[in-house]
Amino acid sequence: MADYFCDNPRYTETLFRRRFRMNKSLFLRIVNRLTEEVMYFKPKKDATFRDGLSPLQKCTAAIRLLAYGCSADSIDEYVRLGETTARECLLHFVVGIVDLFGTEYLRRPTLEDLQRLLFIGEHRGFPGMVGSIDCMHWRWKNCPTALKGMYSRGTGKPTIVLEAVASQDLWIWHAFFGAPGTCNDLNVLDQSPVFNDIIHGRAPEVSYYVNGREYNLAYYLTDGIYPEWATFVKSIPGPQHPKHRLFAKRQEGARKDVERAFGVLQARFAMIKNPALLWKKGKLAYIMRACLILHNMIVENERHSYTLEEELDQGEETETIPVFKGSVNMPTNLDGFGDSHTRIRDRQAHHQLKEDLIEHLWAKFGHLPNDD
């Protein structure tokens, strides 16, 4: 309390942000919500009417375990919690985060979100782009012996795969966790629900133009392993023509959004960077989802400091700038979506979109120096 939470704390807001991975206002908001709605975090008294562990103690212990990836026993030296109590705090904390904040911070893009993503994609030279997709492996040190063959690739260690879609501001819009480490990105994609909204007709209808041609499916930027689908745009390996070199440079630069998101996520929460020490996969899934939710909460809380929109708004009249040069509407009729699988897997549409993007990028950025 004297270090961080009294009226005149010993450590500054900057040090709090460094050690708790978030601003104090956001942390106190989480603590207050958990205290109000999760029984485990409510203040209690023991049989002698002495105060038990405070919500701040419990939440601080959980954040320390997530942020530093240390053992549960090490928390006792600072927060005065035993090993089993610290581990119990962590599990109740991640479950509470998922239950209370998961709907808001692991949501699919709303109409406003989608318009903003499409606007940013158009500014970067990729009209219709809503993010980049890739996979990350989390090593499972204490994987049960019976499962090691399923989760180990070759002679490597057991891992669990996270598939994610991230945007330029590092917000993670889609997360699918739990595939065995023997799966590559294609196997994970086959299990992933990333296109379920499109298949079932729940996705917003998008209309945009590239090189004078109209398209109706938003797409993700990917690396070379992903298939040639209408919803993916890949780079060009070994480009020779100046147009192709410009496209490869821009595509590979924008696709690094998801790699940056993975790097920031692991830097903020060392627990998912270090090998997982728990035995049960269900608990690991809760920890991963809680870290993703906390990551998005931090992004929302600090977005004003590094968003692209502020750069675009400088020196421009925002009233006259359209949010997105196209249309985004919710579907009004679910009939006719039976061929959604075919639309998504259309290789001809993939190649046509790629050729139009090459011409669009060349017309937009080809005159700039060092872009050939």
Task: Quote the DSSP letter at residue 204.
Answer: P
264 burial via Cβ count (<10 Å: 0-12, 13-18, 19+): middle
State the Cα–Cα distance between residues 108 and 282, nearest whole angstrom. 23
Tokens for 325?
């040069």
Neighbouring residues of 283: CB distance < 8 A, sequence distance ≥ 6? 91
pLDDT tens, the chain, 372 aa long: 899 998 899 999 999 999 999 999 999 999 999 999 999 999 888 777 788 889 999 999 999 999 999 888 888 888 888 899 999 999 999 999 999 999 999 988 888 889 999 999 999 999 999 999 999 999 999 999 988 889 998 767 899 999 999 999 999 999 999 999 999 999 999 988 888 877 776 667 788 899 889 998 889 999 989 999 989 999 999 888 999 999 999 999 999 999 999 999 999 999 999 999 888 999 999 999 999 999 999 999 998 765 444 455 544 443 333 345 555 554 433 344 446 778 888 899 999 999 999 999 999 887 766 655
* Contact by Cβ (8 Å): 94, 62: yes
State the Cα–Cα distance between residues 16 and 64, nearest whole angstrom. 12
Tokens for 88?
């119990």
Burial 180-213, CB ≥16 within 10 A → b, else e:
bbbbebeebbeebebbeebeeeebbebebebbee
State the Cα–Cα distance between residues 346 and 219, nearest whole angstrom. 12
Total residues found in the chain within this entry: 372
Q: Quick one: pLDDT at residue 325?
A: 57
Helix axis angle, 83-105 relative to 281-302, nearest 10°?
60
Q: Quick one: pLDDT at residue 246?
A: 93
Q: What are phi and psi of 353, to 5 degrees?
A: -60, -40
Tokens for 195?
């296109």
Q: How, if at all, do strands 129-139 and 219-221 pair?
A: parallel
Q: Quick one: pLDDT at residue 340?
A: 72
Q: Quick one: pLDDT at residue 98?
A: 95
Tokens for 157?
């260690």
Task: Quote the DSSP letter at residue 304.
Answer: G
SS3 state at 307: coil
Task: Quote the DSSP letter at residue 140.
Answer: B
Q: What single string gives the DSSP state of each residue in 239-250? A: --SHHHHHHHHH
| pTM over the 0.95 mark | no
Residue type at position 69: G
